[in-house]
Structure 1
Amino acid sequence: MSQLDEIVDQLTQSENVDAEDSLNDAACLTKLKKLDGDQMKWNEWSSMFSSTIHNNEDITDTERMSYLQSLVIGPAKDFISGFLCNPNFYSSALKELNRRFGNPQNVVGALTKELEAFQRPAMNDHSALIAFASLLRKVVQTFASHGFSADPNATHLLRIARDKLPNPIKLKWTEHVVDNDWTNPGLTELSD
C-alpha cells in the first residue's frame, strides 16, 4: 500500500469515526425530552441531561449552552432567558433551573395538587382506577425520594386520596385497616 493510500485510508477512518460520533450525539439528543417547566419531569430530565450533556467531557460549555437552549421551552426557557445570551452563563442557567424546578418542596407541592385535582374514578372505569393507583404510588415514591417521609402519612393526604375512592373500594380499605390493626395508616399503605 502506498503512503498516499495509507493517508487516504486514515482520513477515511477518521471521517467515519467523526460521523459515528456525530450520529451517536444526535441519537442521544433525540432521546432527550424538552423541559417545559413541569416540575414533575425535572428529575428525569435533569438526570438525562447530566448524563448525556453536562457530564460529557468532550463537550464545551458553549456547546452545553447550545444544547440547553434547544432543550428548554415554555416557562423553563422563560425562567432562564437572561442567561441564554451568553455561553459563560451555562452553569448559572443550570443552577437556576435546578433551584426552580428541582426544589423538593415545589415538586411535592405540585404532586399534592395533582392528587387533589384527580377526578374521582368510577368503580367500573378500570383505566381510571389504574391511573389513580399509579398516581398514589408516584406520590409515595416521589415523597420518599425527596426525603419527605412523614408526608405520605399525613392525615390530610390520606383523606384526599380516600375520598376519591369509589364507595365499595373505600369500604374494603376501611376493612383492611381494621384487619391489620393500623392506628395511623397513610398513603404508603393505601398505595400498596
Structure 2
Amino acid sequence: MQDNFDKSQTAVERLNLLELASDVRAKFLNIYCAVKSKISRELAKLRRVSVINSTALPNFNIEQASTSRAGVRATRLPEFKLPRFGGAYMDWPDFYAMYTTVIGNNEDLTNLEKFQHLRSCLDGPALDTIRSLEPTEANYEKAVDLLTARFDNKLLHFQGHIRSIYRLSSVVKGSARSLRQLSDGINSHLRALNTMATTQEIADGMLISLVSSKLDQHTQEKWEEGLPTNKLLKWTDMAAFLEKRCRMMENIENAMVTHTPSNQKTITIWMSLHLVTF
C-alpha cells in the first residue's frame, strides 16, 4: 500500500511541482502507521483470546470455525516490520515518529516490552547510546530520553539533508536512470526540508553549507562552536561571523608586522630592563 501511494504521489508531483511543498506524504505516513498499529493490537488481542479458548477447549479451533462459517480461508495480514535506526541524524524524525506510533503509544505493551522492541530497532551509535542500560521497566523512559537528547537535533537534521543534496552523484551523460536518481533524490530531500523550514530558510541553509565548506579547518571549527540545536540559522548569522572573524585576523596580522631595526632595538632594551626588574 505504501509503495503504491509513493508511486502515485510522485506522479502527481511531476504534474504539479507545488505538491512538493505539501504535507500529504507526512499525513499519509501518520495515518498508515496508526492503522497498522491498531490492526496489530487487535490481532494481538485475538491471539490471546485464541490461546485462552484453546486451553479451555483443546478440540475447538477458533480459526477453523470462523473459516468454515465464512466458507473461505481467512487472509492473514503481513507482519509489520519496525524501521531500524543506526544513528544518522536526518533519519531520526521519521524513525521516532513511526516507533512512537506503533510501539511507544501502544497501551497493550509494558515498558519492558517496549524497551525490548526499541533495542531491536537500533544499530551502531544509536544502540551504543543505551547499551549500558539494563532492560527493565524503569529504564525504558531513561533510554528514550537519552536517544532524544542525542539525536533530536533540528539543526543537524536540516544540515544533513542539505549536505546530502550537495553529495548527490552527477548525471551520467545519456543516462535516463542517472537523471531519475538525481531528480528523485533532490525531491526526497526537499520534501523533508519543507516539513521543517521555509523556502527562505532552505535557501539560507544551502548558502551557509556551501560557504562553510570553503572555510579552513580552524575557522570552520570556530563557526561550529556554540551553534544552537533547535534553531535554524540565517545567512545574516554567517555574514556576521565572517565579518567578525575577518577583523580579528586582520588585527592579529597587523600586530605581527615586522618592526624596523630602530624599533627592534628599542623593544630589546625595554625587554632587558623589565627582565632585570623581574
* 1:44 aligned partner, one-letter code: D
Between 1:103-112 and 1:148-157, the stretch displaced more is 148-157
Residue number in structure 2 paired with 1:39: 89
Q: Is this contact kept in 2: 1:53–1:64, CA < 8 A?
A: yes
2:184 paired residue among 134, 154, 163: 134
Residue number in structure 2 paired with 1:8: 57
Offset at 1:157?
A: 4.7
TM-score when normalising by structure 2:
0.44
Q: Is this contact kept in 2: 1:152–1:158, CA < 8 A?
A: no
Structure-1 separation of matches of 2:83 and 2:96: 10
2:132 paired residue among 82, 85, 88: 82
Offset at 1:42?
A: 2.1
Would you say 1:48 and 2:103 are equivalent positions?
A: no
Offset at 1:154?
A: 3.0
Structure-2 separation of matches of 1:126 and 1:88: 54
Q: Is this contact kept in 1: 2:90–2:156, CA < 8 A?
A: no
Q: Is this contact kept in 2: 1:39–1:110, CA < 8 A?
A: yes
Q: Is this contact kept in 1: 2:85–2:95, CA < 8 A?
A: yes
Please report the RMSD computed on the Cα atoms of aligned residues, expressed in angstroms. 3.2
* 1:34 aligned partner, one-letter code: R
2:200 paired residue among 133, 141, 150: 150
* Structure 1 residue runs without a partner (length 5+): 1-6, 14-22, 161-192
Please give the per-residue CA displacement for 1:22-77, whole angstroms capped at 9, x wherever unaligned: x98x923xx11221112332233222211211111010101111111111111110
Would you say 1:70 and 2:115 are equivalent positions?
A: no
Q: Is this contact kept in 2: 1:36–1:77, CA < 8 A?
A: yes
* Percentage of pairs with the same residue: 20
* 1:69 aligned partner, one-letter code: R
Structure-2 separation of matches of 1:157 and 1:72: 33
Residue number in structure 1 paired with 2:79: 27
Structure-1 separation of matches of 2:199 and 2:110: 39
TM-score when normalising by structure 1:
0.61
* 2:122 aligned partner, one-letter code: V
Q: Is this contact kept in 2: 1:84–1:90, CA < 8 A?
A: no
Q: Is this contact kept in 2: 1:143–1:151, CA < 8 A?
A: no
Moved over 4 A (4+): 9-13, 155-160
Q: Is this contact kept in 1: 2:162–2:205, CA < 8 A?
A: no
Which structure's CA Rg is the greater one? Answer: 2
Question: Equivalent residues in 2 for 1:157-168 (5 A)?
Answer: 157=207
Q: Secondary structure, in 3 states, of the residue corresponding to 1:45?
A: helix
Structure-1 separation of matches of 2:205 and 2:84: 36
Relative distance call for 1:123 and 1:151 in structure 2 (3 A) is farther
* 1:122 aligned partner, one-letter code: V
Please give the per-residue CA displacement for 1:89-118, whole angstroms capped at 9, x wherever unaligned: 212211332333332211111112212222
